[in-house]
Amino acid sequence: MLRVHHLNNSRSQRILWLLEELGLDYEVVRYERDPQTMLAPPSLRAVHPLGKSPVLQDGDAVLAESGAIIEYLVGRHGDGRLVPPPGGEAHRRYLHWLHFAEGSMMTPRLVRFWLRRLGEAGKPGIEAANAQMAGLLAFVESSLGDDPWLTGADFTAADIQMSFPLEAEAGNGVLDDGYPRLRGLLARLHARPAYQRALQRGGPYAYA
């Protein structure tokens, strides 16, 4: 049985969603953030030394990092689903967005998270991070073009991976002005039945 160590309001919601899309049986082990620090509880370190979520257990295998878990699940349990065939443009786009989500889009978000704790001293850095995020969002908006999904005509695991940073910006109101393609993408993602089932399994999900 696959087991997901799931932290509320976190990246691990994407793993539940992917498992629902693949129709796999799994168990959810829930953890709650500290309401003051918003950090994961120390008990997660008993599962993985980093003490973060998501963590996937598949028999004796224990994996951390959202992108690695996604690649593992689609490779081991996906039977070719949610991944474009290798060698084509769609697969190149798939690889790009799969790693862009954490490698590029989450960086300014994390910078803002820590700088807010500095109060006034952190404001210049926050403004710089906001400017960087605006450029990243504009890049994703233009890259979508007229395609329904990030890799083209077909929904893939890369759309799942990209959902979290896009949802977080939408939750903070950043997408309210402009970005019609990104708002449309999020609407299509949220309308997927597997997304809704994952919300039921994972519990309340406030991503702002």
The residue to which tokens 């997408």 are assigned: 175
Provide the residue ranges of all domains of the chain, joining segments of one domain with +: 2-82+194-202, 89-192
pLDDT at 187 over 90: yes
CATH entry, 89-192, from 3.30.2320.80, 3.30.70.2500, 1.20.1050.10, 2.40.40.20: 1.20.1050.10
Q: Which CATH code is given to the segment(s) 2-82+194-202?
A: 3.40.30.10
pLDDT tens profile 2-45: 999 999 989 999 999 999 999 999 999 999 998 888 889 999 99
Task: Please name every residue paired with 64 in a beta bridge, in sequence order, or none if there are none.
Answer: 55
Is the model's pLDDT at 75 over the cut of 80?
Answer: yes
Give residue 172's pLDDT: 86
Contacts of residue 177, Cβ cutoff 8 Å, sequence gap at least 6? none
The mean of the pLDDT values for the chain is: 94
User: How many Cα atoms within 13 Å fall on the side-chain side of residue 87?
Assistant: 1
- Give the pLDDT confidence of 107-163 residue by residue, as tens digits: 999 899 889 888 999 999 999 999 999 999 999 999 999 999 999 999 999 999 999
Query: How far apart (Å, rounded) are the C-alpha atoms in residues 166 and 100?
Result: 12
Strands 61-64 and 55-58 come out as antiparallel
- The pLDDT, as a whole number, for residue 205 is 87
